[in-house]
Chain A
Amino acid sequence: MELSPFQLLEVMVAVAALLMLGTTNVRTNLTMFAAHTTFLAITAAAVGHIRHEHTLYAIAIMFFLIKAVGAPYFLRLIMKTIEVKLDIGAYIPTPIALHTGIILMGVSYLLARELPGAYVSADATYGAAASLSLIFVGVLMMVTRRLALSQIVGFLVLENGIFMFTLVKTHGMPMAVEMGILLDVLVVVMIAGLLLFRIKKSFEHIDVTKLTELRD
C-alpha cells in the first residue's frame, strides 16, 4: 500500500509501540515509550499543520513535555529508587506477545475500515488503525506483564492510543479538555509511582502476581 509521509508517520507511531512488547528490559521499554510518544507529538503537530488549527501546536508541545519527557523521566526515577532492572517476566513469552501485537494490528486495520468519518486525509483508516492497535498493545501489556512498572507503561500507551483516536477521528476538541485529560494522566502516573515505592517497601518486590493476600 502506498503511504503518504503523514500516513507513514502514523504507522511508525504504532510500530514503535509494538516494539515495546518484545522486550522485558524496563529501561528499553521506557526509551521506546519516549520515542513512540515523540512520534505521536510530531503527528499531532502535523495534523495541526494540515488542518490549520493552531491550538493543536500548543497541545502537541504540552503532550511532548508531559508524556514524552516528564513521564519517562519520573518512571526512570522510580525505577532507580526501587532498583528494578528487568521485568520478572510475563505470563506469555515475549516473542509471542510481539507477534500477537502484530496480529492485533492487522485486526485493528480491519476494524478501522468499518468506522465512518474521516477528517485529516481522505482516507483516515491508517490513523484509526494505528490508534486502535495502540489501544490493543496497551491492554496486552497491562494484562500480560507481571511487573507493576510495565503495567503503568501499558496504561500510558493506552492513553496515547485514545489521544491518537481523538486526533484522527474528530476535530475541534476543546483545548481545556485536552489539558484536563493530560493532567489527569500525569497525576495517575505520579500516584502510581509513589504507590510503587510503598509497595516495594512493604512487600520487597513489585511483582503483581504476588499481590494476592486479599481474597474472599
Chain B
Amino acid sequence: MNVLLELSVIPLIAALFSAAVRSRIVVRRTVAVLMWAQTALALYLLLPVFNGARLAMPSADFLIDKTAASFIILTVIVVSASVTHASVLYGQERQTHDSRMFFAFTSIFMVAMIAVFTCNNLAVMWICIEASTLFSAPLVYLERTKTAVEATWKYLIICSVGIAFALLGTVMIFAAGQSTANSEGSLQISQLVLNAPKLDSSLLRLGFVFCFIGYGTKAGVFPLHNWLPDAYSEAPSPACAIFSGALINCALFGIFRISQIVLASKNGHIGFEMMAIVVAGAISALAASLFLINQHNLKRMWAYSSIENVGIMLVAIGIGSGSLFLLQAINHSVAKVAMFLQSGNVIRVTGSKRLSNLHGLISFAPEQALLLALTTCAVMGVPPFGTFCSELSVLVSSADARLWVVAGMLIVSLTVSFIAVCLHVGRIVCGTPRPDYRRLPAFTSCAMPLLLLASSLALGFLFNSHVWNLLK
C-alpha cells in the first residue's frame, strides 16, 4: 500500500470521528491520541527515506525525497502539538465555537498539507495547495463574529485569486515544455528538472513569475500579505499555530519546487528569477519589521513576525539552498508554534488581544510571563535557540553569494523587529496587572509550549556540521 494512503488514514478517521461522535470529551481526547499515533506512524514510514530508500507511491506523480520527508514530519509534529494543546484548552473552558469542528477540519487540513509535500506533479501540487486553502478557511471562521467573517472573506478571495495566477503559471510552464523539439511536455517536476535547459525560456520565466505571485500570496510576501494579519488575529490560537507553522511551509515549498526547475534551466547559476525571489524576500522582511513597530494587537504582531520569517526563507530559497530553507523552516515552525500557543494562554489570562490591555503579567502569573519572554526570544532569534543558528546561516550564505544589499536589509529588518517585539512584549510582561485577569492551571497550559521551547533549544545546541550534512 502506498505511503500517501497510509499517512492519510489516521487523520481521516479522526475527522470522521469528530464529525460523528457527540461527546466533546471523547472527541478531544481521542483526536489528541490519534495525532500522536500519526506522528509515530510518519516517523516510522519516513525515516527510511533518509537512508536513501524509495517509498511506494500511487503513481509517478508523487515522490518523497529527503526535503519532503522532513517537511512532512515537521507538519505532523506541529499539528499534533497544536491539537494536544487545543484539547487541553477545550477541557478547561467552554468555547464559543463547536470544538469538534476544529478537530475535524484540522485533520482534513493536515491531509491536504501532507499531500502537498508528496507531489511530484505541478498541477497536482496546485490542487493540493488550493485544497489546503479551502479546508483552512473554516478554521478562520470558527468564532463566527463579524470580524471573523470579514477575515475569512479576505482570506478566501485573496488566496483564491493568487492561486488562480499560480495555475496560469503552471500552465505556462507546461507549455514551455511543449514548445521545444520534443513536444510532449510534462508536468512532472522530476522530468522538468531533467529537461530544464531545453525549456522555452520566455514561457518559463513568465510561468515562474505567475507561480511566484500566486504561491507568494499564499505565503504572505509583502504587497500581497493583506489577508495574513486579519486571518491570524481571528482564528483561534491553535489554528494560528498550524497556519504559521505548517501552511506557510506548504506555499514556500511550492515556490521551492518551481525554483528548482528554474535553477536547473540555468545550470545552477543564480539568474533573474532567483534574484527576484531573494529581493522579494528581503523586501518582505524589511516591510514586516517596519510594520511591527506600530502594533496594537498581539496576534497581528506575531503575524507580521511570520511574514518576516517568510522573507528570510525566501532569501534561503533564492540562494538555491534547499537545506537552508528546511533549517529555517524547522526552527521557525517549532518556535512559532510555541509562541502562538503561549500567546493563546496570555490572551486567556487577560481576556483581550489588544496590546494596550496587556500589561503586568509577571506580577500576576510569573510562569506565563517567563514562558512568554522565553518563547519571544526563541522566535526572534536569540542564541542559543535554534532560530539564531538558522538566521545566521542564511545571512552567511547570502554574504557568500555576494548579495551585500540583501544581507544588509536582512540585518536591518532582524534588528528592527527584535527591538520592536521586545518593546511590545516587555510592556506585556512588566507593569501592573489589571484586576480582571484570571488564573490558569500552570502545568497543563504551559506544558506544550514548554516542550516546544525545549525542542527549539535542543535544535540550537544540536546544530553542528553533522546535522548540516544529514540535511543536505
* In the complex, A touching B (Cβ < 8 A): yes
**Interface residues, chain A, with chain B CB atoms under 8 Å away:** 114-117, 119, 135, 139, 142, 148, 151, 155, 158-159, 162, 165-166, 169-174, 177, 180-181, 184, 187-188, 191-192, 195, 198-199, 202-203, 208, 211, 213-214, 216
On chain A, the residues within 8 Å of B179 by CB distance are 116-117
Shortest CB–CB separation between residue B163 and chain A, in angstroms? Answer: 9
Which residue of chain A is the closest to B234 with respect to CB atoms?
A214
Given A162-B167, A170-B171, A202-B149, A184 and B131 contact (CB-CB distance below 8 Å): yes
With A170-B174, A173-B174, A195-B156 as known contacts, state yes or no: A180 contacts B151, CB within 8 Å: no
A116: B residues at CB distance < 8 A: 179, 200, 202-203
Please give the distance in Å from B279's CB to the nearest CB on chain A.
24
Whether B150 pairs with A169 at a CB distance below 8 angstroms is no
CB distance from B110 to the nearest CB of A (A): 18
Instruction: Write the chain B residue with the least CB distance to A132.
Output: B168
CB distance B151 to A214 under 8 Å?
yes
Extra 5 A-B pairs, beta carbons < 8 Å, given A181-B127, A188-B134? A192-B157, A195-B153, A214-B154, A214-B234, A216-B297
Residue of A nearest to B128 (CB): A180
**Inside 8 A of A159's CB, which chain B residues have their CB?**
164, 167
Question: What CA separation (Å) do A208 and B131 show in the bound complex?
Answer: 25
- Range of interface residues on B (Cβ < 8 Å): 35 or more
Alpha-carbon separation in the docked complex, A168 to B22 (Å): 51
Q: How far is the CA of A184 from the CA of B170 in the complex (A)?
A: 16
What are 29 sample pairs from A and B whose C-beta atoms fall under 8 A apart?
A: A115-B202, A116-B200, A117-B175, A117-B179, A117-B200, A117-B203, A135-B168, A139-B161, A148-B153, A151-B157, A158-B161, A159-B167, A166-B174, A169-B172, A169-B175, A170-B174, A170-B175, A177-B121, A180-B123, A181-B123, A184-B130, A184-B134, A187-B134, A191-B134, A213-B150, A214-B154, A214-B230, A216-B294, A216-B300
Complex contacts, A180 vs chain B, CB 8 Å: 123-124, 127
Residues of B within 8 A of A191 (CB): 134, 137, 156
A199 to B184, CA, bound (A): 47
What's the Cα separation between A135 and B184 when bound, in Å? 26
- Convert B126-145 into 0s and 1s, putting 1 for each residue whose CB lies closer than 8 angstroms to a CB of A: 11001100100100010011
Query: Is the pair A172, B161 in contact by a Cβ cutoff of 8 Å?
Result: no
Which of A177, A198, A213 touches B187 (beta carbons < 8 Å)? Answer: A177
Given A117-B200, A199-B149, A199-B153: A216 and B291 within 8 A (CB)? yes
Is the CB–CB distance between B131 and A216 below 8 Å? Answer: no
- Residues from chain A with a CB closer than 8 A to the CB of B230 are 214
Q: Which residues of B contact A214 (CB under 8 A)?
A: 147, 150-151, 154, 229-230, 233-234
* B residues less than 8 Å from A169 (CB atoms): 171-172, 175
Residues of B near A202 (CB, < 8 A) are 145-146, 149
Q: Which residues in A have their C-beta under 8 angstroms from that of B154? A: 211, 214
- Count A-B contacts at CB 8 Å: 118
Most buried by B among A119, A203, A208, A211: A211
* Residue in contact with A216 in the complex, picked from B157, B171, B296, CB distance below 8 Å: B296
In the complex, what residue of chain A is closest to B166 when comparing beta carbons? A162
Query: Measured between alpha carbons, how far is A40 from B453 in the docked complex, in Å?
Result: 55
User: Contact: A158 with B164, CB < 8 Å?
Assistant: yes
Asked if B184 and A172 sit within 8 Å, CB to CB, the answer is: yes
Question: Which residue from A158, A174, A195 sits with its C-beta under 8 Å from B152?
Answer: A195
**5 interchain residue pairs of minimum CB distance:** A117-B179, A177-B123, A180-B127, A214-B230, A211-B150
Distance in angstroms from A135 CB to nearest chain B CB is 7
B295 interface contact, C-beta 8 A: yes
B178 at interface by CB-CB < 8 Å: yes
C-alpha spacing A211/B230, complex, angstroms: 11
Give A62 to B153 CA distance when docked, in angstroms: 28
Instruction: Give the Cβ gap from B108 to chain A, nearest Cβ, in Å.
Output: 12
- In the assembled complex, the Cα of A121 lies from the Cα of B233 at a distance in Å of 52
> Which residues of chain B (412-449) have a CB below 8 Å from chain A?
none
- Residues from chain B with Cβ under 8 Å of A171 in the complex: 178
Alpha-carbon distance A159/B152, docked complex (angstroms):
21
A residues in contact with B174, CB < 8 Å: 166, 170, 173
Judged by a CB distance under 8 angstroms, whether B360 is at the interface is: no
